[in-house]
Each structure stands twice: as C-alpha cells, then as structure tokens.
Homo-oligomer: A and B are copies of this chain.
C-alpha cells in the first residue's frame, strides 16, 4: 500500500497461535495501559482520542469511520479489515486473514486493541465512494421511475407546500381576525377543509401579518386529512421549498434532494449506514441494541447519517437548511423503528410484530433531523415486521396494483421480500435467507462498489471474463457478479445441481484453505486472487432457495400458475449489470422469458419521491399497505418444504424450469 511505515512484527508470529496475543511495535515502544491514544484513520484523516486498550472497531465508531462488520464485533465475519500503518496494537489471532493480508499488516478491527497513537488505513471497500457510483447510476437509469408525478400518473400536490398568501389588511368594514383571515387566504388557493395551527405560530401570527402588510408565505403540511400551518413568514418565499427523500437501507442510505415547486430531483447523495458497525443485518443490530441498551445510539447513528446527507446536499446546492421543509423516508421496518427510536425488539421475536407500520407525520426535529425546525418527517407505511415501506414503495413504483394481469415484485437484499398480485389483490412474504447476494457470508463478496466484479462470464474452458465497477482491478464480487458466477459454474457443469464442485478436475477448481474453490481472478501484481468457495456457493444457494420458496408459497396460496405471471420486477442492490436471465438459471426467479423480467433499481426511493410530491400517491401507498396480505413464512407449514425443494440448481422439480431443463438436456446431448 506504499505508505512506508515500519512493519516489524512477522506475520507468522501472529498466525502461529502460540500466544493469544501479539504485541506489534511500530515507531513507539513504550508500554501504555491507561493513557490516551490518538487514532488517525486514512485516507479520511478522521481522528479520535481513546483510552489505551480500546478496540479499534469501537474507535472507528467514535471517529465516525464506517467499517463493515457483519457479525457486529464477534470476530467471525472477517469483514472489518483495516491496515495498521503505524503504532502499537494488540491483535487476537484469527483464521480469517490470509498470509498475504498478514504480511500487509491487515488486522480485524474488532479483534485489535490500540496501545499507542495509531494510524490506520481503511481499505476502499469500506468507503463511501463505492455506493456513490451505484446511487448515481441508479439516479440516471431509473429516473423515469421517480417520474410518476411528472408523468401525470398522480396529481402534483406535495405533502408540504409554500404558498404566497396576500390578504387585504383589516378595515372597519372587515374585522376578520388574523387567524381566520389567514385561513381564508389559504383556502382561496388550496383545498384544506380541516386545518390546524400550532400555538407558537398562532402567537407570532399577528406580528408577522402586521410587519408584512398581510403579504406572507405560508408553509403548509399535510397530516392525513388535516392541513397544518407549519410556518408563516413575511414576504414571498414560495419558490424556496425543498425536500429530501431518503431510502433507509440496512447497508446504504440514499438521499435525493427535491425541489418541491417543480417536482425535480436536484441532487443525490448516499452513505453507508453507520449502524453497520453494530452488525451488517438488522436482526444483529437489534440484538446488539438489546444487549447493550443501545437503542438511542442506534437512532443517533441513522439520524446522523441522514443529517450528513442532508447537509452535504444542501451545502453543495447552496440551499438553506431552513428551506428544506420535508424529509420522507422509506425503508424496512427495522430501519424505520431505529430512525424513530420505536421499540424494534419484537421484530425478531415471535410473533414478529412492528410497533407501528403506519407512522404519523412528526416534526422532523422530534427525531433529531435538522431541517426547518418545524419541518415534517414522513415515513411511508409498511405492512409488517418483515415487509417494510420500501416494499410498499416498490409496489407503488411498479404500479402492479393497477394492472389486470399478475405481476411479481422481488427485492433481493438481506431479506428477500416478494409481492405477488394485481389490481384486485396483493400478497407478500419475506424470506430470511440471508444477505449472500449482498456479498455477506461470501469470502470475496462485497458491496456494489469500486473494484467489485459486477458482470462475469465463465467459458467452457474455465476461463473467466469480467467487468468491475470503476474499471479497476477486481477486489471482490458484488451481487450481480455472484449471480453470474453461480449461473456460470452451474451451466458449465463446474458445480452440479446440488451446488457441489465436481470432482472431475475441471480447470480453475482448486483446493483452497477452506476446501474446494474456483478461481475467478488469479493473484497478480500484488493484487490478491478472487475465488468462490464451496461455502460461498452453499450460502448463495440458500439465499436463492429462500426467495424462490417464498414465491412458491405466494403462488400456491393464490393458485397462480407460472403462465399467469406477466412481469417480474426485480428491485434492490444488484447493480446495473444484472443478467436477469441468470436469476432464472439458478432457480431464484420463476422461469419466465427474459423480456418479462425487469430490473427496476431502487424503487424504495422512487416511491418515496412519488409520495412526497403527491398526497394522492400517499393515499395510494396507504391503501396498498392496508390491502396487502402478509404471509409469515416462519409459521407457514409449506415453506420449509418449498425451501428444501428449491435448494437445488435450479430446483428439485425441473419441470418448473422448462427453459433451464432444455438447456441442460441440450448440453447433456452435446456432451
């Protein structure tokens, strides 16, 4: 990594297992137990002072440096890798680092205590820029999905508006009081049969009206059927009304800055969810919060992330935070609970319930979100503990609730949420098969960021072609690359229908440290190799089986046949180079023609934006959330059977995958 620091501790010593600890000596040698240590993180330059003995993962949290951590600090996921450039530290031995990594002074942050001032390099795969790419691509590629309002599908009627109200001043012939005069002025312009005014606004109103000669800008927000006067300002400021739509992802938080006067997206920004340090999936974060009574901390994290995004967008666009009147969020149920500090504990406990699926609009400041101090925070409605508002947003965005024919919507992330239905009915379920397709639980799995293989072809001779995000040297594999890998290994017979490597000595299959593996990219020029292991494949198969089993349960429950499904919409973090056909090949999605399967990107934020811009869309989202029938797979007797049947490539029942069957037969014949 060429930072020229002195590295003196032989890696073999750390790997030996002889002692349980290893004291690394860098530039300073003195013993340090109680003293304060300054920890500097590169390349961000963020610093934090912590007591000697502090675990590096904890120091990173305090510094606001985001480190990936699937296991939440238990030392078994091996994701929180950082490089020690300088300083003393103490690391517990682990089998999760390769010899190469040990040579490069890579450590697991959760297993390393600092003993002196330390400088740490955070590898790129932890950093923000990676998701930036995906988010930007999304914004361009799927901009039309946010255009429901602009396309006239919903009436343009933002949840919060600023209107210029010019009233005539009172006279001896017109004694109407200020408050009622204002209401009359508002009602001349908008439909607002039920209105509310906060007490402080009411108290200030007379002065504002007199100072302005009864020419004011009124900010009005909709709370259900009630219209609230949020602010009354002197003069005409109605052209400055901005909002931020947020997709509260478990991994990534994406924010779009909107101009509410003309329904345009001005700018976009994303960041990693800084709760990641407490666990990569939200179940683990709930456990962490319970065990450490860290619900407040969990809220602070996500609120901090949202605030950072808002401030970044506002600063870049030179917009006053006071002119941001609205924040709207979509996300899974757990994230919504964390954001609002609503008790999330029963999400992970039978009978698996949410504290609230419909969260009323609140003052954004009440949740700690720093926009206009009386601005509103809206959360899209969800359905259940495992079907959040992101899924409702997906249904809204794909418009499957308007169609005569049956559609399938699937969001493959940490969970695989699926919705089946049409304009008459909607059913949904969530499979908890794990986040393998997000790169978690996969040796070289990673998020769709710089250096991630996002497209990959395995040829018959075992040679591999690939494309990485950012066109850099490959660092790992993201979701779409993993899908291609699994499909490639299967279609080329490198793994069998059980997902097991064939013992026939195919090219590229080697015996690695953890058993059989397939080398996708060889080590070269100091870059490590990229492989896929048997354990990785098992994880990926479990994930895809979970999704398909969930789809089968919904199809069976509604007596929907394969040919009844007109379109499959695939949402989520698969990235831009998803080969939807491969999703059929491995048996994740039903066997439909490729042209009937659409990758629709981040429908969560698209739906949030649509609702932000139209009360009618919010009402529609509420109707969708209310009308969706939720199947709890954990208590569903048929689910486990379907899961077992789906734990083959593509499935135990090949008749469900006629196109795959014919390819396989074709190959068999050819062979």
Q: Does A133 lie at the interface of the complex (its beta carbon under 8 Å from any beta carbon of B)?
A: no
Query: A385–B225 contact, CB under 8 A?
Result: no
Does A356 lie at the interface of the complex (its beta carbon under 8 Å from any beta carbon of B)?
Answer: yes
For the complex, is A206 an interface residue (Cβ under 8 Å from B)? yes
The interface residues of chain B lying within 8 Å CB-to-CB of A193 are: 225
B226 touches A340 (CB 8 A): no
A385 neighbours in B (Cβ, 8 Å): 175, 177
Instruction: Determine if A351 and B172 form an interchain contact, defined as CB atoms under 8 angstroms apart.
Output: yes
What's the least CB distance linking A343 to chain B, in Å? 4
Q: Are B384 and A175 in contact (CB under 8 A)?
A: yes
- Cβ of B355 and Cβ of A205 under 8 Å apart? yes
**A630 lies within 8 A of B175 (CB):** yes
| Residue of A172, A350, A353, A358 with highest tally of chain B CB at under 10 A | A353
B357 touches A199 (CB 8 A): no
Question: Is A224 close to B, CB under 8 A?
Answer: yes
Q: Is A354 an interface residue (CB 8 A)?
A: yes
Indicate if the CB atoms of A355 and B206 lie closer than 8 Å: yes
Evaluate contact between A175 and B358: CB separation under 8 angstroms. no
- Given contacts A199-B367, A205-B355, could you give 13 more A-B pairs where the C-beta distance is less than 8 Å? A172-B350, A173-B351, A174-B351, A175-B354, A177-B353, A177-B355, A177-B356, A180-B356, A180-B357, A196-B360, A199-B360, A206-B342, A206-B343
Who on chain B is nearest to A626 by CB?
B180
Ordered by A's residue number, 8 sampled pairs between the chains whose C-beta atoms are within 8 Å are A170-B346, A175-B352, A176-B357, A177-B354, A179-B356, A194-B226, A196-B226, A202-B355
Interface size for chain A: under 10, 10 to 19, 20 to 34, or 35 or more residues?
35 or more
Contact call B351/A170, Cβ cutoff below 8 A = yes
Query: Given A346-B206, A360-B196: A355 and B172 within 8 A (CB)?
Result: no
A171 at the interface (CB under 8 A from B): yes
Q: Which residues of A contact B (CB under 8 A)?
A: 170-180, 193-197, 199, 202-203, 205-207, 223-226, 340-343, 346, 350-360, 362-363, 366-367, 384-385, 630, 632, 634-635
Instruction: Specify which chain B residues have a CB less than 8 angstroms from the CB of A355 in the assembled complex.
Output: 177-179, 202, 205-206
Inter-chain contacts of A173 with B (CB < 8 A): 351, 635
Instruction: List residues of chain B with CB within 8 A of the CB of A194.
Output: 194, 224-226
Copies in the complex: 2
Question: How far does the alpha carbon of A323 sit from the alpha carbon of B46 in the complex, in Å?
Answer: 53
Known: A172-B632, A194-B224, A226-B196. A178 touches B354 (CB 8 A): yes
Q: Given that A199-B362, A223-B196 are known contacts, is A179 also in contact with B635, CB under 8 Å in the complex?
A: no
Residues of B near A170 (CB, < 8 A) are: 346, 351, 353
- Is the Cβ of B179 less than 8 Å from the Cβ of A357? yes
Known: A172-B632, A385-B175, A632-B175. A197 touches B353 (CB 8 A): no
Residues on the B chain within 8 Å of A635, using CB:
172-173
Point out the residue from B196, B357, B367 that lies within 8 Å of A177, measured CB to CB: B357
Q: Give complex CA distance A103, B591 in Å.
A: 111
Asked if A351 and B178 sit within 8 Å, CB to CB, the answer is no
Residues on B with beta carbons closer than 8 Å to the beta carbon of A202: 340, 342, 355-356, 359-360
A178's partner among B223, B226, B353, B634 (CB-CB below 8 A) is B353
Contact flag A342-B203 (CB < 8 Å), given A179-B355, A194-B224:
yes
Give A419 Cβ to nearest chain B Cβ, in Å: 16
A343 CB contacts on chain B under 8 angstroms: 203, 206-207
Closest B-chain residue to A209, C-beta based? B355
Closest B residue to A366 by CB, please name it. B199
CB distance from A471 to the nearest CB of B (A): 46
Across the interface, do B199 and A363 meet the contact criterion of CB distance under 8 Å? yes
Residues of the B chain whose Cβ atoms lie less than 8 Å from the Cβ of A346: 170, 206
Closest chain B CB from A95 CB (angstroms): 39
For the complex, give the distance between the alpha carbons of A360 and B179 in Å.
Answer: 10
Complex contacts, A366 vs chain B, CB 8 Å: 199
Q: State how many angstroms separate the Cβ of A172 from the closest Cβ of chain B.
A: 4
Q: How far is the CA of A205 from the CA of B199 in the complex (A)?
A: 25
